[in-house]
Chain A
């Protein structure tokens, strides 16, 4: 059984920013915050599954914001996650068209005293579409692109995991895969704009 590590906020944020010990750090977020955030969704018309889905989105959004240096520790990680969770869930309720008037009234009263994270939450549906689109790439393409651009492995390290003759073949394959994905995105102008916004936002 793996030992359970618990990071203080500063170390947690530093790990996410540097992409270090990601698994342990993300697990710490789950262990420390899932129950309280889960409670919020389930007490506001949500099911357990809703709470899990929202939390997963919140974790992704938080890591993305930390990496883009948009979380600078003005509030605790807990407060920040709570705010992201609240806005993600309220947006989902509105999307489902069943946000309760009473709830909205209550939430409006809270706006002034809580951190407003609504502007930090990126286009949720756009992200879902991006994930779907990348998922359509072939397995080899996905693997090479993920190892290089997400895991930050070098071409020589990738060569060790794949059955290719030399690094140049891997480089060529990586280029072809990236171009293929670029073409797929270009065919969807709205999605391309969403990604541009995420990139520069």
Chain B
């Protein structure tokens, strides 16, 4: 009977043989239960088979979806690290440049380059020859310097320059610019160079403070291009770059 039961389960019975067996199944509850148990076992095999099939494909597909582990040769790895390091350095440098660009100001550039002009030391015997303008300048009394200059309107180049420096100290850019320009013009007219280099340098700085960057750049380039200029060493490439950056902003 067991052999027939399995044949029936496997759908290997046909015709009258199948009909007869089905009649027996209907009449015999135990036989029917035994068939049910075998069907249950067959179902278990199907579940197991499906799990094995999907599990096998799952492993394969996870590799395909995630991509295979790529083996990188040492030279390529070094190249990758080098590129990564270079990119990091570039990023850091870019960050610093960006930070400097956005925090740069005309006042900052002016303040880091401006030093008050100092007159050379006067020997004891010469004190009588020092003019009131020069005396006031030496005493850093810049207000008095400009008052005296406005009062007497000295035509001496030195006093014109000291008055311009005093205006610069008092943050009166317009008057300082006029004064420095006057020193330069008088030298050009007379073919001399009294306080000319000094006037050009301080005029450039005053232009920066006044945000006249194009005028400042012309003077700075001229100074940088002339190795004999008194302030050639003070006008660095960095200063010119900073003024250019201020101009772009």
Q: Which chain A residues have a beta carbon within 8 Å of chain B's beta carbons?
A: 22-23, 26-27, 30-31, 34-35, 52, 55-56, 59-60, 63-64, 127, 130-131, 133-135, 142, 145-146, 148-151, 174-175, 178-179, 181-182, 185-186, 192, 195-196, 198-199
Contacts and interface: CB of A to CB of B under 8 A. Distances in A.
A198 B49 contact: no
B3 interface: yes
A124 B134 CA distance: 102
Given A182-B38, A182-B40, A127 B57 contact: no
B53 interface: yes
B43 A63 contact: no
A63 B54 contact: yes
B43 A182 contact: no
Contacts of A175: 2-3, 6
Given A34-B65, A175-B3, A182-B38, A134 B53 contact: no
A158 B56 CA distance: 21
Interface of B: 2-3, 6, 10, 36-55, 57-58, 60-62, 64-65
A131 B43 contact: no
Nearest to B40: A195
A131 B62 CA distance: 22
16 contacts: A26-B57, A27-B60, A27-B61, A30-B57, A30-B64, A56-B54, A63-B54, A131-B51, A146-B49, A148-B10, A150-B53, A178-B45, A182-B37, A185-B44, A199-B40, A199-B43
Contacts of B64: 30-31
Contacts of B65: 30-31, 34-35
B45 A149 contact: yes
A60 B49 CA distance: 10
Contacts of A31: 61, 64-65
A178 B41 contact: yes
B48 A52 contact: no
A183 B41 CA distance: 9
Contacts of B55: 56
A23 B53 CA distance: 8
Nearest to A174: B6
A199 B37 CA distance: 11
A151 B54 CA distance: 13
Contacts of A199: 39-40, 43
Contacts of A198: 43, 47
Contacts of A181: 41, 44-45
A128 B61 CA distance: 22
A179 B10 CA distance: 14
Nearest to A63: B50
Contacts of B3: 175
A30 B59 CA distance: 11
Contacts of A142: 48
Contacts of A195: 40, 43-44
A130 B45 CA distance: 9
Contact of B48 (A26, A64, A146): A146
Contacts of B40: 182, 185, 192, 195-196, 199
Contacts of A30: 57-58, 61, 64-65
Nearest to A122: B47
A26 B51 CA distance: 12
B242 to A, nearest CB: 50
Contacts of B50: 60, 63-64, 150
Nearest to B47: A130
Contacts of A178: 6, 38, 41-42, 45
A131 B50 CA distance: 10
Contacts of A174: 6
Nearest to A172: B3
A178 B40 CA distance: 10
A14 to B, nearest CB: 18
A179 B6 CA distance: 10
